[in-house]
Amino acid sequence: MSGINRRNMLAATSVLALLGKEAWAQAPAAAPAPAPKSNIPDTDWSQFGGNLASQRYSPLDQINAENFNKLELAWKFNTDSLGPVPDAYFNSTPLIIKGRIFTTAGMRRDVVSLDGATGELLWSYRHDEGARLGTRGGPGFGCSYWTDGTNERILFCTRGYSMISLDAKTGLPDPAFGVNGILDLRLNNDQEIDPNRGIIGIHAPPLVVRNVVVVGSAPTAAVKGYLRGFDVKTGQRKWIFHTIPRKGEFGYDTWIKEGQAEKAGNVGVWAPMSADEELGLVYAGVELPPTDLNGTERHGNALFSESVVALDIETGVRKWHYQLTHHGLWDYDIPCAAILCDLNIRGRVVKALAQPSKQGFLYVLNRETGKPVWPIPETRVPQGNVPGEWYSPTQPVPSRPPPFDRNGMTEADLIDWTPELKARALAISKHYKLGGLFTPPAFVEPRGVFGQFLLPGTQGGANWPGGSYDPETRKVFVYSKTRMESVGITRSPQDPNRMTQAGLVTAPNTADPNGGIFGSAASLKGGTTRSFAGPNDAIDAPIVPRLLSIEGLPLNKPPFGRITALDLNDGTLAWQVAHGETPDFIRNHPRLKGVKIPRTGQSGILGTLATKTLVICGDAGVFTDAQGRKAARLRAYDKKTGEEKGAVYMEKVQTGSPITYMLGGKQYIVLAVSNGYGADLIAYRLPG
């Protein structure tokens, strides 16, 4: 315990005694060394999305197209010692305020504070929850910051669903908040939740607006995912919004079968949120009820599932809502924070909200009213044949911008690198149901179809990192994953009169074809996903259910991962590029010897960063370069054209979204990286 002075040891010990459980705060022996003096002002990154509008943008341009390739590793903070095993999927987005970095990290979701110039540990906090269970493990997406100008607090949600408020200077819990700094989020939730075995949690950081902290949830089917606002100073509950309306509340009648709203669970807000302080509104994206693909026990549109909901920050009163998917059967819940932006539409300033989605659409709404900025007509969609299912006759389909990824799967989307591969892909597809977006999951019976091809898959499209927005050019930049799945509904083995999901099967992941962490549904939602590749999918082997590959190659065409720029001046697609190198297993595949293949990109879950001139994003997977190094790259694209301007070596792949800041006259880019066996927070800056 060297480097900890006696005063801070006594303070930490008093906290242990006060809490009656293991908690650890390590305060610095001295203040961090001041950064070198500079005439360039320091900048902060004080929200998960950069600001409350979730724009993930910075006007900094010290790092630009001319010097990006000169970036050097400034420092690295390894998280492997934070928890009983190394972190395999470090997906936190750090904050930096006044030169100090704050982030959750490690398998136990500790909080650490680092010097932004050196990466030196200033303090760390660990909370031992014992047997308390949660739905979302690992480090989570990060923490939040609040200040009244004097006091500073770091707030985060634990794996077991408590919220803790720490003093940003010392890392010690704030005794005025909750009980000794800890607020049990299972309590005061308008329902009974078992203190240990009630399975509920949250990955996303709480959203702090004014003096209100808004917290969502990601529960199981047995718990309702209500949204709440708390006093940021005391932890006292200010309001609660019932995402599943109670009888007499608005939206209850959209659950059209008696008693289903009362029995339903989940419908939580698991993704990050955004807010407009001036309008006094918080914007929350709500997920769907159980089960993701089977709606036989939740007839109707079932508000507020798969809706963007605008709530009054102070009272939680609903101001408007917009449902992106009616009676969802595809797990197209709203995965990320809406981007808030001011547009000029035909000479009129529109306060807008741009919501990226798993289905590959950007839904652009007036954030004051919830009305579409461009028409989003209700479009007739196919109906299914699952016994007892209820189908919405229409779905809202944006007229603009165009989709940023493929939506729907047809024969034209099948791999065609060689005639043999195309023939095999066509032969496999004859056993499955194909169709456009919103084609319902297939009914799977003996001697029937194996399932339905779903593209985008249940993870998107876009996912929790969301997109970035340039307020100067009014462009949205979003990474999306093009990875198909097979879905289906079958009869329950226990009760043939009830329906159940036939199991989710994914095509090989181009970032990690052996089935690792990158893009695993289990890493996000506690679900089970299976990825098949190997000798059983040989090109001349019998076609059997649930093999969505040909000797390891995905059935769908690339790009497997892409970055798209959407122009919100007129709702058009500005540019689109494949993101990431072609993976080794494709470049070196014996079936593709002598075949020229354009860059395929890689499938994963990634966030972009927009600066004055660049769009920056790291690879989702590794590849072997000309020097024989197997690693990833942090890439920079020209913001106007999408042309790649630089690529910097990374030992591990991007798993958290990058941020940037100026400190001591130097611009830094910081992001979380992992390789399945450990994780780091790394910082780049220019030499000298």
Residues 407-429 pLDDT 10s: 999 999 999 999 999 999 999 99
Least confident of 11-15, 49-53, 84-88, 561-565: 11-15
**Contact at 8 Å (CB) between 642 and 563?**
yes
Length of the chain: 688
Residue 42, number of CB atoms within 10 A of its CB: 18
Q: Are strands 623-624 and 630-638 parallel, antiparallel or unpaired?
A: antiparallel
Report pLDDT for 8: 38
Task: Give the strand pairing for 23-25 and 121-127.
Answer: antiparallel
Tell me the Cα Rg of the chain. Answer: 24
**Parallel, antiparallel, or unpaired: how do β-strands 485-491 and 442-443 relate?**
parallel
Asked if 650 and 675 count as a contact pair (C-beta separation under 8 A), the reply is no
Q: How confident is the model at residue 3 (pLDDT cuts 50, 70, 90)?
A: very low
The total of other beta-carbon atoms located within 10 Å of residue 432's CB is 21
C-alpha separations of 258 from 249, 251, 255, 661 in Å: 15, 14, 8, 53
Pick from 476, 517, 521: nearest CA to 503: 521
- Mean pLDDT value across the chain: 91
- What pLDDT, on a 0 to 100 scale, did the predictor assign at position 55? 98
What secondary structure letter does DSSP report for 10?
H
Q: Return the SS3 of 85.
A: coil
Grade residue 25 by pLDDT with cuts at 50, 70 and 90: low
CB-based contact 235:215 (threshold 8 Å): no
* For residues 144-150, average pLDDT: 97
The pLDDT-based confidence of 508 (bands split at 50, 70, 90) is: confident
pLDDT greater than 90 at residue 540: yes
Alpha carbon dihedral 640, 646, 650, 654, in 10-degree steps, equals 10
221 — pLDDT class (breaks 50, 70, 90): confident
pLDDT digits (tens, 9 = 90+) for 291-336: 899 999 999 999 999 999 999 999 999 999 999 999 999 999 999 9
Task: Give the residue with greater pLDDT, 326 vs 523.
Answer: 326
Mean predicted confidence (pLDDT) in 64-90: 95
| Domain ranges, ordered by start, for the chain | 6-685
Biggest CA-to-CA distance, the chain: 74
Q: CA-CA distance, 55 to 367, in Å (whole number)?
A: 15
Taking only the tens place, the pLDDT of each residue in 615-652 is 999 999 999 999 999 999 999 999 999 999 999 999 99
| CATH number of the 6-685 domain | 2.140.10.10
- Please tell me the distance from the alpha carbon of residue 215 to that of residue 230, in angstroms, as a whole number: 8
pLDDT of residue 524: 34
* Statement: residue 370 has pLDDT above 80: yes
Task: For residues 232 and 166, give the distance between their C-alpha atoms in angstroms, rounded to a whole number.
Answer: 11
Q: N- to C-terminal Cα distance for the chain? A: 34
